[in-house]
Amino acid sequence: MAVSAMILTLPHFLSQPYDYDSVFHNRHDICNLHENRSSTESCDKTKQLEDTNNLWVLMASAQLLFGVGSVPIQPFGISYIDDFAGPSNSPLYIAILFAVSVIGPSIGYLLGSVMLRIYVDVDRNGLGAEQELQHGDPRWVGAWWMGLLIATGCLVLTSIPYFFFPRQMHSEITESETDSTDDFKKPEVCLLDLLKMFPRMFIQLLLNTRFLLLILAQCCFSSVVAGLATFLNKFLERQYGASVAYSSLLVGAVNLPAVAVGMLIGGIIMKRMGLSLKTIPRFCVVMLTVSTLLCIPLFFMGCPTQSVSEVNHPVGLHQPLSKCYLNCSCPAGAFNPVCGSDGVEYVSPCHAGCTNFTKDPNNTHRVQLYTNCRCLSDGQNHAHPSPCVNSCPHFLLPVILVLSLASLIACLTHNPLYMMVLRSVPFEEKSFAIGIQFLLMRVLAWLPAPALFGMAIDTSCIWWKHVCGKKFSCGYYNNNLFRSRYLGLQVGYKILGILLLMILVRKERKTKEYDLEKRPEGSL
Is 50 exceeded by the pLDDT of residue 357? yes
Query: Is 412 within 8 Å of 262 (Cβ atoms)?
Result: yes
218 and 335 belong to one structural domain:
no
pLDDT at 39: 43
Is 80 exceeded by the pLDDT of residue 188? no
Listed residue (23, 509, 466, 92) closest to 267, CA to CA: 92
Mean pLDDT computed over 210-217: 93
Is the model more confident about 71 or about 160? 160
Residue 84 counted as domain residue: no
Q: What percent of the chain has pLDDT over 70?
A: 82
pLDDT at 172: 53
Residue 138 counted as domain residue: no
Least confident of 115-119, 252-256, 273-277, 340-344: 273-277
Least confident of 40-49, 54-63, 104-113, 427-436: 40-49
Residue 363 counted as domain residue: yes
Report the DSSP beta bridge partners of residue 313.
309
Is 60 exceeded by the pLDDT of residue 193? yes
pLDDT tens track for 448-500: 999 999 999 999 999 998 877 778 889 999 999 999 999 999 999 999 999 99
pLDDT tier for residue 52 given thresholds of 50, 70 and 90? low
332 and 445 belong to one structural domain:
no
pLDDT tens track for 227-269: 999 999 999 999 998 988 899 999 999 999 999 999 999 999 9
Residue 237 counted as domain residue: yes
Residue 70 counted as domain residue: no
Residue 389 counted as domain residue: no
286 and 360 belong to one structural domain:
no
Listed residue (509, 524, 300, 271) closest to 399, CA to CA: 300
16 burial type by CB count under 10 A (0-12 exposed, 13-18 middle, 19+ buried): exposed
Query: Following CA atoms 254, 256, 259, 261 in sequence, which dihedral angle do they give, to the nearest 10 degrees?
Result: -70
226 and 281 belong to one structural domain:
yes
Residue 286's domain comprises 193-305+395-524
Is 60 exceeded by the pLDDT of residue 446? yes
341 and 450 belong to one structural domain:
no
pLDDT at 71: 67
502 and 405 belong to one structural domain:
yes
Is 70 exceeded by the pLDDT of residue 78? yes
Residue 103 counted as domain residue: no
pLDDT at 477: 94
286 and 347 belong to one structural domain:
no
Number of domains present in the structure of the chain: 2
Q: Which CATH number belongs to the domain containing residue 482 in this structure? A: 1.20.1250.20
Is 90 exceeded by the pLDDT of residue 220? yes
Domain boundary among 346, 363, 384: 384
Domain boundary among 338, 353, 384: 384
Least confident of 8-12, 178-182, 272-276: 178-182
Query: Following CA atoms 206, 209, 215, 221 in sequence, which dihedral angle do they give, to the nearest 10 degrees?
Result: 150
342 and 407 belong to one structural domain:
no
- 431-454 burial: b if 16+ Cβ within 10 Å, else e: bbbbebbbebbeebbbeebbeebe
Average pLDDT, the chain: 82
pLDDT at 32: 80
Is 90 exceeded by the pLDDT of residue 391? no
375 and 404 belong to one structural domain:
no
pLDDT tier for residue 513 given thresholds of 50, 70 and 90? low
Domain boundary among 354, 384, 414: 384
Is the model more confident about 522 or about 388? 388
Is the model more confident about 15 or about 237? 237
Residue 270 counted as domain residue: yes
Query: Is 476 within 8 Å of 463 (Cβ atoms)?
Result: yes
Least confident of 6-10, 27-31, 103-107, 399-403: 27-31
Is 80 exceeded by the pLDDT of residue 205? yes
Following DSSP, what letter does each residue of 76-99 receive, concatenated?
Answer: HHHHHHHHHS-TTTHHHHHHHHHH
pLDDT at 40: 42
Helices 256-273, 396-411: axis angle to 10 degrees equals: 30
336 and 254 belong to one structural domain:
no
516 and 413 belong to one structural domain:
yes
495 and 427 belong to one structural domain:
yes
Query: Is 460 within 8 Å of 477 (Cβ atoms)?
Result: yes
Is 70 exceeded by the pLDDT of residue 37? no
Query: Following CA atoms 206, 211, 216, 218 in sequence, which dihedral angle do they give, to the nearest 10 degrees?
Result: -140
259 burial type by CB count under 10 A (0-12 exposed, 13-18 middle, 19+ buried): buried
At 23, phi and psi to the nearest 5? -65, -20
pLDDT tens track for 121-175: 888 887 777 777 777 777 788 888 998 899 899 888 988 887 787 766 565 555 5
pLDDT tens track for 416-443: 998 888 888 887 788 788 888 888 998 9
